[in-house]
Amino acid sequence: MKKLIVEAMSATYEILIERGVLSNCASFIAPVVRGKRALIITDTNVAPLYLEKVKASLTKGGFETYSHIFTAGEQSKHLTTVAEIYDTLAENEFTRKDFIVALGGGVCGDISGFAAASYMRGIDFVQIPTTLLSQVDSSVGGKTGVDTKYGKNLVGAFYQPKLVLIDPDTLNTLSDHYFADGMGEIIKYGCIRNAELFSTLENVDINENIEDIILECLKIKRDVVNEDEREGGIRMILNFGHTAGHSVEKLSEFTLSHGECVAKGMVMIVKASEKLGLTENGTADRIVKLCEKCGLDTSTDFELDVIAENAKNDKKGSGSDLNIILISKIGSSFIHTVNKNDFALYLSK
């Protein structure tokens, strides 16, 4: 078993990585939660695959176990879904000592975490991410929330889980599309902080090395969160490619998935920053080639001024300014503040 410890300002918890851990999840959950009642939150894609396995382990471990299943997809990531979770919790008389288990991808983790943060002003929750994107990124760090019609993740809270359990075997049931989706975030990590990881991704069989790749990404996420839990500074670098990416995601009405939009956002901003002399020449080409290797299309049909205009509500903004993340070269990132009206200058097809 591989183990990392997150030591954020508000909480300390473990990330455990082991194949087959879903079947024995209760033994790891029991020491970190207070109550004996668990609500497993999952979606219509994941429930048929893993819900009974997790429920059986929790029941065998002595927990009174309930489940809440929502319709899979980003379209469910809104306050109505959270309200339905509140109803399930209240109808089954959950108290502050009980807990939630988020079983699924990033949407499930974000929704479940926000429900946990806000129900009775906070109950425990455990992350069991089942997609590559959620395993390397969204399950760790305490960002929870939902979308509104004005933008992605505009309503939410910082709320750390009690534990993150990662079973790489769940990746066997991912489609090629959603495996590639996770690679968008993995490539991001190499770009912002680990040139060696980026080079590894360029040169090895990714599937054969996926556990080590997951671990390297989580080390970066852990270190950044430990330093800056609430995104007051260095944690902003984790948003590389996200400002434009979130805009494209919303413009597509979420028919494009998060990781592929991040890939598009990274390439757009690096092409532009190369032209502006802020990034080493040739960097964008390397990112494009690696994205292509991973099955990620980095092109977009949306006009750049539309993407820029749509990014003005991005939560990384402050007044008339927008904090964007640039890289000087692979593995070296920095925060760059621009006027929101000038953001289009930092985008290029």
DSSP letter string over 244-293?
Answer: HHHHHHHHTTT-S-HHHHHHHHHHHHHHHHHHTTSS-TTHHHHHHHHHHH
Q: What is d(CA 130, CA 132) in angstroms, rounded to the nearest whole number? A: 7
Q: Is the pLDDT confidence value at 314 over 80?
A: no
Q: What is d(CA 316, CA 238) in angstroms, rounded to the nearest whole number? A: 11
Q: What is the pLDDT of residues 173-219, one digit of tens each?
A: 999 999 999 999 999 999 999 999 999 999 999 999 999 999 999 99
Domains of the chain by start residue, with CATH: 2-173 (3.40.50.1970), 176-346 (1.20.1090.10)
pTM over 0.85: yes
Give the chain's end-to-end CA distance (angstroms, integer). 43
The residues that are catalytic are: 121, 143, 185, 221, 231, 235, 239, 242, 246, 258
Q: Is the pLDDT confidence value at 13 over 80?
A: yes
Half-sphere exposure of 220 (CA within 13 A, CB side): 31
Q: At what angle do helices 283-293 and 176-193 cross, to 10 degrees?
A: 150
pLDDT of residue 315: 63
Name the token pair of 227.
């330093």
Q: How confident is the model at residue 236 (pLDDT cuts 50, 70, 90)?
A: very high
pLDDT of residue 349: 76
The amino acid occupying position 128 is I
Average pLDDT over residues 106-125: 98
The answer for residues whose C-beta is within 8 angstroms of residue 4's C-beta and 6 or more apart is 14, 15, 215, 218, 219, 222
